[in-house]
C-alpha cells in the first residue's frame, strides 16, 4: 500500500524521507512536517475521527529543493537588499523576486517523481483517476511563537493532476515569501533561510457547509461547552471572517445542544465545476435557515470531545461536510495554548484544595479577591489600635483594611474582611503582596468578624472565596511536594508590541518580582512606603523639623524598585492617600479634615498645589530628583493621580519644574486617567503630559456612580460596562492624535482577560497588571496581537464591537 516511497518500515528514518503519509505521522513529527501536517497525522494514526486522506512533503524535501537548485545563495543575496522592512515598496519588490526565483526553478527530478507516485497512490486509494486535492503549507519554523506566520496560510483548493500538485507544492514554498510573512519574520528577528516548509496534499472535501469549533470559550476560558461556528460553502469564509456564521453551543457533560444562534448568510464560497473556487449567493430560501442539522452539530461535538480527550488540552478545529455524501470531515486540529495552560494550573490548585477540603465545614463565603490558600489561627481585629497585636502567620480578620494596616497584612497567611469589593484596599494590596484574601463576607451572608473566633484554626480558600474550619493544608503540602522537578523547565515568553508592565509599590518585593517577564513597573503606589517605612504625617515632620526623613525614606524606596527593574522604566505615582488615611499617620489629626466622602475629597493633585499641603508634595518631588540625579537611576518617571481639572494639571507640572524636574525625552510625566473629566478633556490635558495610565478602579466608580468600597452595590461595579469601554476607546483615540501614549493600571486588566484583549484591540500602548497576572497576560496579549496583525495584513477586520464603542 505504501509502496512508492518511505515504505512503512518499522525503523525508517522519517527525517530523510521526501514524503510521509498521514498514517506514518504523529504530533511529535512537527520538526519534519510542521504543525499542520503532524496534527493531521496524529489524528489519522491515533484516533478514529474522520480526516481526509493525504500525505505531506517534509522539511528535508524543502531543503533539498532549495540547496540542490542553488536557490539558497540566490535568495540570500536578494534578501540582503531588504534594508528597510518598513519601506513597503522595497519589501514588495524583494518578495516578488524571491517568489519568482522559487517558481522559476524546476524541482529535482527524484522529488518530482516521489510526489507524482504519491498522488497516484492517493488516486488509487480514493478510487478515482485524477482526484481533486487540497494543497496547504505547514511551516516548521520551531522558534516562532506562531509558526503559521512563517508561511502564508493560503490553501490551494481543487488541485487536479500530478503536474498541478507539484506546481502547488512549489507555490507553497514561494508563499513563505509573501510581504506579510517576510515582514512578520523580520519583526520577530527570525532568519528567513532557516525555516522549512512542508506541504500537505489531501483529498479535497467539497464542503456544502464548513466552519470551526473550539473546546473552550476563547473569550473567557469557560471549558464546559463546545463552541461550533458554521456557514454554507467552503470553510475559508468562516476562517477569514468574511461571513458571520451560525454559532452553536453543546454542553460537554451531557452532549446536549444548549444554544443555537442563526445568522443570515448571503454569500458563500464554492468549488467551480472543473476546479478553482468562486463566490455565489446563498439561495434565498436557505439564508435565514440553520446551516447544520441538530444531528450534524452533535456529531461534530462528539469529534471535538474525542480530539480534546486525545490531546489532553483545549482544541481549535476546522471541519467540512462533503456535498457528495454528507460525510463530516475534520480538516484541521490545533491545541489552544493560552487557556489550556491557565486553566490547567488553576485546576491543579483546585484539585489539591478540593482533595484536602472534602467534607470540611464551611464557615463563611465572600469575594475571591486574591487567589491562593492560607491556613492559620484567626485573629480578629476590630479596632486599628490593636493592630500591633497581630502576629506572623495568623489570619487577619477585620471589617476592612486601610493603608496603615499594610505592615500587619504582610505578616498574614491570609486576610478575610467583612466588606469591600474587588478594587477595595484589601483586594488591591493583598493581590500585590501575593497574600490570599477574601473580601465582602457580610454581603454574602455573615460578617467574618462576627463568625470567626480569635485563636480558631481556619483555612482560607481565597481562589474560591470560602473559609473552612480547621487545618486543611497538611494534605495539600504533601500533594504539592511531588512535582518539584517540573520547575526546572525554562519558560519562554513572546515579545509583545503592547508593553506589559507590573503594579508594584512595596520596595521589599522588588527583587523577588524583578525576574518576571514584564517591561517595567506601570504603577508604583507611593503609599506603601509611607505605611511601611515613614509612619508619620509629612506636615508633622515638616513642623517638627525633620523633612529629610521623608526625602530619605521615599528616595530609598524608589531606589530599590528602580534599581531592581533597571533598565526597564518605573512609574512612580505620587501619593494618593485620602484624608482619612493621612490622618492615620502620626501627627495627622492636626492637618487632616474630616470629610463626608474622602474618596471624593482632598486627594491626589488637589493637594499638591494647595498652600496647606504643597510643602509636603515638594518633598516627594525632591525624593524623585535625588534618585534620578544622585543615584543616577534615570528609569524613574512619575504619574499624577486624581487630577480633576486641566488647571490643576498645569499647576502640578509647574511645581515639579520649580523643584527641578523637567518633563523631556529622558523624564516622563504621566497622568492617571481615572476621572471622566480626564477623558472628556483629554485634548486639553494632552499638552501637559506624555500620556495617560487609566485608573480603571476610580474611572469605573465615577463613570457608573458606584462607590468602589461599597460591597452592597459591588455587583454593579464592572469595568467591562460599555460606558467604561467607550471612555477607554475615546481616550486612546484622542491621546494618540497628539502622540501621547495610553496605558492602564487599574485592576481590570488583571482580573478580566477579555478586558485586556479589548485593550489590545483598541490599540493601547501598554497595560500594567498584578505580579500574579504578568505571565499569563504576556502570553495572551501576544496571541491577540498576532491575530490582529493577521487580520490587518489580510484586510479582515474582526472587531465586531467597533460600532457600539463609537462615542
Ligand atoms: C485606579 O483607580 O484604577 C488606580 C489604579 O488607582 P487606585 O486603585 O490606587 O485608586
Ligand atoms: Mg485611582
The pLDDT tens digits for 534-568 are 999 999 999 999 999 999 999 999 999 999 998 99
- Is the pLDDT at 799 greater than 70? The verdict is no
346, part of any domain: no
Cα→Cα distances 5→14, 19, 104, 132, 690, Å:
11, 7, 26, 21, 64
Q: Is residue 438 part of a domain?
A: yes
More confident position, 147 or 26: 26
> Which strands sit side by side in the sheet containing 155-160, from one edge to the other?
19-21, 54-57, 197-203, 132-139, 155-160
Check if 697 has its Cβ closer than 6 Å to any atom of ligand 1. yes
Q: Is 152:70 a contact under the CB 8 Å cutoff?
A: no
Q: Are residues 707 and 775 in the same domain?
A: yes
Report which of residues 610 and 234 the model is more confident about: 610
Residue 460 has pLDDT above 50, yes or no: yes
Catalytic annotation present for 160:
no
pLDDT at 474: 55
d(CA 407, CA 533): 9
Cα of 695 to ligand 1 centre, how many Å?
5
745 catalytic? Reply is: yes
User: Residue 145's pLDDT is what?
Assistant: 42
As a whole-number percent, the residues of the chain with pLDDT over 70 amount to 91
Closest CA to 633 of 548, 557, 688: 557
Residue 576 pLDDT > 50: yes
Q: What's the start-to-end Cα distance of the chain, in Å? A: 64
Nearest ligand to the C-alpha atom of residue 423: 1
- Phi and psi at 570, nearest 5°, equal -125, 130
Q: Is the CB of 674 under 6 A from ligand 1?
A: yes
Query: What CATH number is attached to the domain comprising 633?
Result: 3.20.20.60
Is 235 or 690 the better-scoring residue by pLDDT? 690
At 3, is the pLDDT very low, low, confident or very high (cuts 50, 70, 90)? very low
Q: What span, in angstroms and rounded, lies between the C-alpha atoms of 140 and 153?
A: 13
In this predicted structure, what is the pLDDT of residue 143? 42
pLDDT score recorded for residue 794? 58
Calculate helix-pair angle for 30-46, 59-68, nearest 10 degrees: 150
Q: Looking at 154, 169, 203, which one is the last position of a domain?
A: 203
Residue 477 has pLDDT above 80, yes or no: no
Tally of CB atoms within 10 A around 389? 11
**Helix (H) / strand (E) containing 374:** strand 373-381
**506 vs 146, higher pLDDT:** 506
- Give the count of alpha carbons within 13 A of 38, CB side only: 19
% of the chain with per-residue pLDDT over 90: 63
Whether 793 shows a pLDDT value over 80: the answer reads no
Ligand 1, residue 576: give the atom nearest the CA: 9
Residue 707 lies in a domain: yes
Residues 176 and 217 both lie in one domain: no
Write down the pLDDT at residue 339.
Answer: 79
Given a contact cutoff of 8 angstroms between Cβ atoms, the answer to whether 605 and 599 are in contact is: no
Per the structure, the complete domain to which residue 247 belongs is given by: 207-340
Residue 176 lies in a domain: yes
DSSP code string of 668-690: -EEEEE-SHHHHHTHHHHGGG-S
Same domain, 516 and 595: yes
Q: What mean pLDDT do residues 84-110 have?
A: 92
Check if the beta carbon of residue 527 is closer than 8 Å to that of residue 581.
yes
What is the rounded average pLDDT of the residues 596-610?
97
Q: Is the peptide bond before 135 cis (omega within 30 degrees of 0)?
A: no
Cβ of residue 751 lying under 6 Å from some atom of ligand 1: no
Query: In whole angstroms, what is the distance from residue 196 CA to residue 154 CA?
Result: 16
C-alpha 769 to ligand 2 mean position (Å): 14
Same domain, 517 and 597: yes
Helix (H, G, I), strand (E, B) or coil at 739: coil
CA of 640 to the centre of ligand 1 (A): 11
Residues 417 and 515 in one domain: no
Looking at residue 541, what is its pLDDT? 97
Where does the pLDDT of residue 154 fall: very low under 50, low under 70, confident under 90, or very high at 90 and above? Answer: low
Query: CA-to-CA distance for 436 and 430, rounded, in angstroms?
Result: 7
More confident residue, 459 or 185: 459
The confidence score (pLDDT) of residue 490 equals 52
pLDDT over 80 (residue 648): yes
In this prediction, residue 377 carries a pLDDT of 96
Q: Is the CB of 196 under 6 A from ligand 1?
A: no
In a domain, 345, yes or no: no
Predicted model pTM: 0.65
Q: Is the pLDDT of residue 338 over 90?
A: no
* Residue 785, ligand 1, Cβ within 6 A: no
Q: How do residues 737-792 score in pLDDT, each as one tens digit?
A: 999 999 999 999 999 989 999 999 999 999 999 999 999 999 899 988 887 776 66
Structural contact between residues 414 and 462, judged by C-beta atoms closer than 8 angstroms:
yes
Q: Measuring from atom 4 of ligand 1, which residue has the nearest CA?
A: 695
Q: Which of 203, 231, 263 is where one domain is finished?
A: 203
CATH number for 274:
3.30.470.20
> How much is the pLDDT for 472?
84
Taking residues 696-722, report their average pLDDT: 94
Residue 88: inside a domain: yes
Residue 745 in domain: yes
How many domains does the chain contain in total?
4
Name the band, by pLDDT with cuts 50, 70 and 90, for residue 153: low
Residue 146 has pLDDT above 70, yes or no: no
Catalytic residue among 176, 518, 643, 745: 745
Q: Is residue 477 part of a domain?
A: no
E-only strand ranges, 220-322: 225-232, 246-251, 257-261, 267-271, 277-281, 315-322
Considering all CA atoms of the chain, what is the largest pairwise distance in Å, rounded to the nearest integer?
Answer: 98
Q: What is the CATH number of the domain that holds 148?
A: 3.30.1490.20
What average pLDDT score do residues 350-358 get?
70
419 and 279, same structural domain?
no
Q: Quickly state the pLDDT bin for 484 (edges 50, 70, 90).
A: very low
Q: All 3 cell numbers of residue 724?
A: 467604561
483 pLDDT tier (thresholds 50, 70, 90): very low
- Average pLDDT in the chain: 88
More confident residue, 146 or 81: 81
Does residue 735 contact residue 680 with C-beta atoms inside 8 Å?
no
Expressed in angstroms and rounded, the spacing between residue 420 Cα and the centre of ligand 1 is 15
pLDDT of 237 reads: 79
pLDDT, one tens digit per residue, over 369-425 is 898 899 999 999 998 889 989 999 999 999 999 888 888 999 999 999 999 888 889
Query: What b/e readout covers 326-362, taking b as 16+ CB neighbours within 10 angstroms?
Result: eebbbbbbebbbbbbbbbeeeeebeebbeebbeebee
Whole-number pLDDT of residue 801: 61
Q: Give 781 or 242, the one with higher predicted confidence.
A: 781
Residue at a domain's end among 454, 469, 484? 469
Q: Is pLDDT of 444 > 90?
A: no
432 band by pLDDT with thresholds 50, 70 and 90: confident
User: In this model, does residue 656 exceed pLDDT 90?
Assistant: yes
Amino acid at each position: 500500500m505504501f509502496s512508492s516511497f518511505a515504505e512503512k518500515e518499522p525503523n525508517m528514518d522519517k527525517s530523510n524521507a521526501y514524503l510521509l503519509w498521514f498514517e506514518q505521522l504523529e504530533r511529535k513529527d512537527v520538526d519534519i512536517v510542521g504543525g499542520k501536517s503532524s496534527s493531521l497525522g496524529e489524528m489519522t494514526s491515533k484516533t478514529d475521527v474522520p480526516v481526509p486522506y493525504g500525505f505531506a512533503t517534509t522539511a528535508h524535501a524543502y531543503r533539498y529543493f532549495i540547496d540542490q537548485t542553488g536557490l539558497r545563495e540566490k535568495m540570500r543575496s536578494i534578501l540582503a537588499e531588504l534594508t528597510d522592512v518598513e519601506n513597503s515598496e522595497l519589501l514588495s519588490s524583494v518578495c516578488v523576486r524571491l517568489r519568482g526565483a522559487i517558481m522559476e526553478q524546476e524541482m529535482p527530478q527524484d522529488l518530482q517523481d516521489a510526489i507524482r507516485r504519491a498522488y497516484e497512490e492517493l488516486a488509487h486509494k480514493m478510487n478515482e483517476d485524477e482526484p481533486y486535492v487540497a494543497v496547504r503549507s505547514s511551516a516548521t519554523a520551531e522558534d516562532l511563537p506562531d509558526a503559521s506566520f512563517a508561511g502564508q496560510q493560503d490553501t490551494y483548493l481543487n488541485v487536479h493532476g500530478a503536474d498541478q500538485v507539484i506546481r502547488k507544492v512549489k507555490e507553497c514554498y514561494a508563499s513563505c515569501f509573501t510581504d506579510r510573512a517576510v515582514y512578520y519574520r523580520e519583526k520577530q528577528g527570525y532568519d528567513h533561510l532557516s525555516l522549512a516548509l512542508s506541504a500537505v496534499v489531501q483529498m479535497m472535501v467539497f464542503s456544502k457547509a464548513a466552519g470551526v469549533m473550539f473546546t473552550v470559550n476563547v473569550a473567557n476560558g469557560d471549558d464546559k461547552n463546545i463552541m461550533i461556528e458554521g456557514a454554507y460553502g467552503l470553510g475559508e469564509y468562516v476562517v477569514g471572517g468574511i461571513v458571520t456564521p451560525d454559532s452553536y453551543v453543546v454542553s460537554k457533560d451531557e452532549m446536549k445542544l444548549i444554544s443555537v444562534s442563526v445568522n443570515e448568510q448571503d454569500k458563500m464560497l464554492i468549488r467551480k465545476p472543473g476546479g478553482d473556487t468562486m463566490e455565489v449567493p446563498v439561495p434565498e430560501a436557505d439564508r435565514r435557515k440553520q446551516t447544520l442539522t441538530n444531528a450534524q452539530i452533535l456529531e461534530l461535538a462528539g469529534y471535538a470531545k474525542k480530539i480534546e480527550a486525545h490531546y489532553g488540552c483545549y482544541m481549535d478545529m476546522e471541519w467540512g461536510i462533503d456535498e457528495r455524501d454528507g460525510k463530516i470531515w475534520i480538516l484541521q486540529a490545533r491545541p489552544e495554548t493560552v487557556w489550556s495552560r491557565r486553566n490547567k494550573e488553576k485546576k491543579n490548585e483546585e484539585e489539591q484544595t478540593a482533595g484536602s477540603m472534602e467534607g470540611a465545614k464551611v464557615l463563611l463565603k465572600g469575594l475571591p479577591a486574591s487567589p491562593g490558600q492560607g491556613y492559620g489561627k484567626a485573629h480578629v481585629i476590630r479596632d486599628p489600635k490593636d493592630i500591633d497585636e497581630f502576629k506572623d502567620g495568623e489570619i487577619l480578620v477585620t471589617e476592612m483594611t486601610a493603608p496603615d494596616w499594610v505592615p500587619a497584612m504582610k505578616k498574614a497567611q491570609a486576610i478575610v474582611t467583612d466588606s469591600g469589593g474587588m478594587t477595595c484596599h484589601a483586594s488591591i494590596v493583598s493581590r500585590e503582596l501575593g497574600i490570599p484574601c477574601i473580601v465582602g463576607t457580610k454581603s454574602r451572608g455573615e460578617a467574618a468578624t462576627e463568625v470567626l473566633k480569635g485563636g480558631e484554626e481556619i483555612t482560607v480558600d481565597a481562589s474560591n472565596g470560602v473559609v473552612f474550619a480547621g487545618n486543611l493544608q497538611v494534605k495539600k503540602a504533601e500533594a504539592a511536594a511531588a512535582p518539584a522537578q517540573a520547575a526546572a523547565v525554562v519558560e519562554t515568553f513572546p515579545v509583545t508590541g503592547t508593553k506589559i508592565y507590573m503594579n508594584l509599590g512595596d520596595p521589599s518585593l522588588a527583587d523577588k518580582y524583578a525576574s518576571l517577564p514584564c517591561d517595567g513597573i506601570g504603577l508604583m503606589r507611593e503609599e506603601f512606603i509611607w505605611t511601611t517605612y515613614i509612619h508619620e504625617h509629612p506636615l508633622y515632620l515638616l513642623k517638627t523639623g525633620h523633612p529629610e526623613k521623608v526625602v530619605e525614606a521615599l528616595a530609598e524606596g524608589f531606589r530599590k524598585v528602580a534599581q531592581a527593574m533597571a533598565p526597564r522604566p518605573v512609574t512612580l505615582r505620587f501619593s494618593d492617600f485620602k484624608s482619612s488615611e493621612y490622618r492615620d499617620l502620626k501627627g495627622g489629626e492636626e492637618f487632616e479634615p474630616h470629610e463626608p466622602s474622602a474618596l471624593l475629597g482632598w486627594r491626589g493633585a488637589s493637594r499638591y498645589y494647595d498652600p496647606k499641603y504643597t510643602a509636603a508634595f515638594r518633598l516627594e518631588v525632591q525624593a524623585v530628583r535625588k534618585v534620578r540625579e544622585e543615584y543616577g537611576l534615570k528609569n524613574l518617571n512619575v504619574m499624577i493621580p486624581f487630577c480633576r481639572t486641566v488647571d490643576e494639571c498645569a499647576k502640578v507640572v509647574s511645581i515639579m519644574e520649580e523643584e527641578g524636574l523637567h518633563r523631556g525625552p529622558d523624564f516622563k510625566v504621566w497622568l492617571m486617567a481615572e476621572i471622566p473629566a480626564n477623558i472628556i478633556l483629554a485634548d486639553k490635558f494632552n499638552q501637559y503630559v506624555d500620556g495617560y495610565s487609566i485608573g480603571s478602579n476610580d474611572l469605573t466608580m465615577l463613570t457608573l456612580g458606584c462607590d468602589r468600597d461599597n460591597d452592597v452595590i459591588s455587583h454593579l461595579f464592572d469595568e467591562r460596562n460599555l460606558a467604561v469601554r467607550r471612555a477607554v476607546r475615546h481616550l486612546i483615540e484622542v491621546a494618540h492624535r497628539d502622540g501621547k501614549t495610553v496605558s492602564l493600571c487599574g485592576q481590570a486588566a488583571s482580573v478580566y482577560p477579555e478586558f485586556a484583549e479589548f485593550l489590545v484591540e483598541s490599540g493601547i500602548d501598554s497595560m500594567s497588571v498584578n505580579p500574579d497576572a504578568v505571565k499569563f497576560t504576556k502570553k495572551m496579549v501576544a496571541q491577540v496581537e498576532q491575530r490582529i496583525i493577521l487580520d490587518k495584513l489580510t484586510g479582515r477586520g474582526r472587531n465586531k464591537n467597533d460600532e457600539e464603542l463609537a462615542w
